Structures are given as C-alpha cells and as structure tokens.
Amino acid sequence: MNVMRIRPVEDGDFRLFRRYEPGAPLSACIGLDAHSGEPIRVAFDAAGGGNIMIVGRSREAALGICMVALLDLATQITSTPGQREIYTTPPFSIMDFVSTEESRVFADAAMSLPLPVKLERDTISEMTSLGDFQYALLQRDRHPEAPRHAKFLFICGFHAAHGMRSRGSYAPDTTTPNAARLARILRDGTAHSLFAVVWCNTFANLDLTRPEGLADFDHVIVLDGAGDPPPDLPAEPGENAWYINRRTRSATPITPLALPPESWSDAVIRSFV
C-alpha cells in the first residue's frame, strides 16, 4: 500500500510566496508538482474561479495547504502599496469546526498576521462569518462601482459542520439558513472577489453536508483517505495527492507541504512588519 508523500517545509520555501504584481490577481501555492518540484498555484479571479475544496483525512496535509495558501496571500496583500488600508473588514475569515492541534496552529498563525482576521472556533450555530460574507456579497451586487478587494473564507473541518448537514443523522428537517448562505456565497461569491477554501475529510461526508457536492469548486485537491471520488475525478491517490482543475479538466499529481512549525510561520509573518 502506497503512503501519500507530504514534504516538510524548508527555509528556502519562502520562495514559494509571490510578491505583489501590478494587475495580477492574488494567487496561492497549494503544493509542488510531483515530477518537477515546481510550485502549483491557484489564481483567485472571477474568470478562473477560485473556490478550493480539499478532500482527505490527512490533517497535516490539509491544514498545511491552508497555511501555505494563507501566508502566500498575506505576502501579496502586505507587499501591495496601500493594500492593507483598503480592508475595512477582515480579508481572512476562519471557521474551525474541528479544533484539532493542527487547526489551532493554523488559526493561531492567522491571528498573528498584521492584518484583521476573523476567527470562529468550535462553531455550532452562530456562524457569523457566513453572514459577513453574505452582506459583502449583497453590497457588491448592489454597488458594482465599489472596490472589490479579495476576501477569503477558510473552512476547516467541513465534515464537522453539523449545523449545515443536509443528510444523515445530524440533518435537520429543513434546509438550514447557514447552508443556504454558504451555497450562495460559493455560487455567486467569486464574481465579486469573495473566495472559499474548504477542507472536508471524505467525499462521503461532503455528500452528507452539501447536496451540491463539488459544484462551485473549480479547484479540487484530493488527499489520501478521501474515499471514492465522483466519476469525473481520478481515483484516490497513492504516493501523490491530486490537484484537479475542473475548468480545464486537468489532473496534476502534487506533493502537499506539511503544516509548517510555528517558528517557520512566525519567521514569515515577521517579514511582513
């Protein structure tokens, strides 16, 4: 049985983070090409989509992808002249449904950024981040001339988001308001520069929680332990993870980066100040 490779971060991996490029959309490194070792990047723009779904049981890999993406995006925002000042609301919101050691490391690093960040831990019913994004979506829809600086919603442990379950033992009798809010954010948000990065441990739990499945996710990362994928995706990975671009219908074997240690993330964050 093949074991999926996860590469620890190294000092030289700071090179993975992109500095501000005038006119270019924000983008994030999600891992390394398994053959060339070059970084694989996802661009967040209305034309190319941007919502990312990570599926798999490896918390080390899933939260590593989230951490590297977060630090990469923060690097671009903080290196953009005047970019910090345009954010009157947090550019990053994190909903942590699992509160594992790995998710706490990720959330703590996010809260150390020199940027406003909203964190919801052990989320059960409030889920105010969804309301924030819904409000931003309505405002941007009503005022198309207003600035549309990118905002990102990270959802850690979608499989534990029982307040949004559509099927199974935790499912309510009717569709929950939070499930409806998330569905609209995912469906309409990217056109208004509102993006989501979601981690769910298996395809089975994704199906229980979200009836739309992978709809509205242009980018899918499949880790080990994900279970049987939908027919249009490759089988569960062996020693490599899969990055699937559903728009271009391409599948690339990748090596995910492990969740960085706190000292490594702290060194990156200190460089922002």
pLDDT per residue as tens digits for the range 64-93: 999 999 999 999 998 877 666 778 789 999
Q: What is the pLDDT of residue 73?
A: 96
pLDDT at 217 over 70: yes
Tell me the domains of the chain and their CATH numbers: 11-270 (3.40.50.300)
151-173 per-position pLDDT tens digit: 999 999 999 998 888 776 666 66
> Is the CA virtual torsion 219, 14, 240, 202 positive or negative?
negative
Q: Identify the sign of the CA torsion 220, 223, 224, 225.
A: negative
For the CA atoms of 191, 195, 199, 204, the dihedral, rounded to the nearest 10 degrees, stands at -20
- Supply the pLDDT for residue 165: 81
Task: Categorize the per-residue pLDDT at 123 as very low, low, confident or very high, splitting at 50, 70 and 90.
Answer: low
* Top-confidence residue, 160 or 19: 160
Sorted by sequence, the CB contacts under 8 Å of residue 139 that are 6+ apart come out as: 146
Whole-angstrom distance between the N-terminal and C-terminal Cα of the chain?
A: 46
Binning pLDDT at 50, 70 and 90, where does residue 272 land? confident
Residue 120 β-bridge partners: 95
Position 124 scores a pLDDT of 63
Cα–Cα dist 211/238, whole Å: 27
Q: Is the pLDDT of residue 261 over 60?
A: yes
**What pLDDT is stored for residue 98 in this prediction?**
94
% helix / strand / coil in the chain, to the nearest 5? Answer: 35, 20, 45
Main-chain phi, psi angles of 226, to 5 degrees:
-75, -20
CA distance 227 to 80: 41
Between 66 and 176, whose confidence is greater? 66
3-state secondary structure of 203: helix
The whole-angstrom separation of Cα 259 and Cα 256 is 9
